[in-house]
Amino acid sequence: MYGIIASIYLIWRIGTAGNWSAACWVLLLLCLLGVRRDQIEVEWKRFFIFAIPMLYVFYYFYGSGNGFWWKIANWMFENNRHPWNWDAWMNSIPFNDGAWARTFNTPSLDHAMVWIYNYGFVLSLWICIVRSFWTRSMKKMLSYALSGHLMQFPLILPFYNLILLREVWWVKHQPDLLGRSFATENELLVSVMNCFPSMHTSISFAMLLLALREKDRIFKYMMVAYCSSIIFSTMYLQIHWVLDVFAGMAFAYGTVKLADLVIGLASKLLPSSFKGFYGKKGKTYSKETMVA
């Protein structure tokens, strides 16, 4: 009971830290409907001993990561370490600006796409981590986290440090459909300069790839629809170039495979005593349980 209360409180703190709207919580609950289909045979008490601290660590990095990211972005802007400027080249490629994605547009659709884009960068990841928590699988929690921000942030920095590519609307001198306000010109330039590859795309596509491994169809269909809409929103809102999106998908695929490799190697190094303690008492340990 204490473990369940602590877990719910921590998940609530994650949502409040991210200023989740009611729609965010509804989306999370829908994705949890079939969670039993993916649960593994692990005793709840033993799972909580390891999983709650792990979830807290992810929460801690989530809370401190945004400030750290912007420090790096400002450092790159101030030091101007961009040997390649791709603005003109990307703008010269036919259909690369994604204007076709706005062939049909309405104020209501604009509002929906803004919501999807603004929350998509972290909500897609947290839905998967929280759901994997309730499947009682630490392996899945780690897989989603590593395939998301934990690995993608350091791996994507060389691209952002070498390639200067700004958002579509800025390059084409159009209004910012996100309606962002910038205090200074420098703040604006820092916000729009890192486009290749699209990290909104890479995060959401990595979550989509991992969600397809689950058994529950509700979750798979929800994540395919939600993550696809995040990717579409980057072009609909005239933020990312089409090539940014394809590069983000390729980057996500590589990160997922790398995370699989790291987790596979780490699983082999786990002592048998830990695997035995973590397994459900009185049950024969399956291969999945032993490394979960």
**SS3 track for the chain:** CHHHHHHHHHHHHHHHHCCCCHHHHHHHHHHCCCHHHHCCCCCHHHHHHHHHHHHHHHHHHHHHHHHHHHHHHHHHHHHCCCCEECHHHHHHCCCCCCHHHHCCCCHHHHHHHHHHHHHHHHHHHHHHHHHHHHCCCHHHHHHHHHHHHHHHHHHHHHHHHHEEECCHHHHCCCCCCCCCCCCCHHHHHHHHCECCCCHHHHHHHHHHHHHCCCCCHHHHHHHHHHHHHHHHHHHHCCCCCHHHHHHHHHHHHHHHHHHHHHHHHHHHHCCHHHHHHHCCCCCCCCHHHHCC
Lookup: tokens for 49: 């001993």
Residues paired with 165 in a beta bridge: 194
Query: Mind listing the pLDDT tens digit for each residue in 164-202?
Result: 999 999 999 999 999 988 877 777 877 888 899 999 999
Between 157 and 27, residue with greater pLDDT = 27
Phi/psi region, residue 19 (left: phi>0; alpha: psi -120 to 50; beta: rest), is left
Q: What is the pTM of this model?
A: 0.89
> Strand (E) positions, the chain?
84-85, 163-164
Q: Which pLDDT band, with edges at 50, 70 and 90, does 289 fall under? A: very low
Cβ pair 288, 40 in contact under 8 A:
yes
Partners of residue 84 on adjacent β-strands: 163
Dihedral sign computed on CA atoms, order 234, 209, 145, 81: negative
Question: pLDDT per residue over 39-97, tens digit each?
Answer: 988 888 888 988 999 999 888 877 766 666 667 666 666 666 789 999 999 999 999 99
Model pLDDT, residue 74: 64
What confidence score (pLDDT) does residue 81 get? 73
What's residue 136's pLDDT?
A: 92
Q: If you search the block for the tokens 């400027």, which residue do you land on? A: 85
pLDDT band at 24; cut points 50, 70, 90: very high
CB atoms within 10 A of CB 128: 27
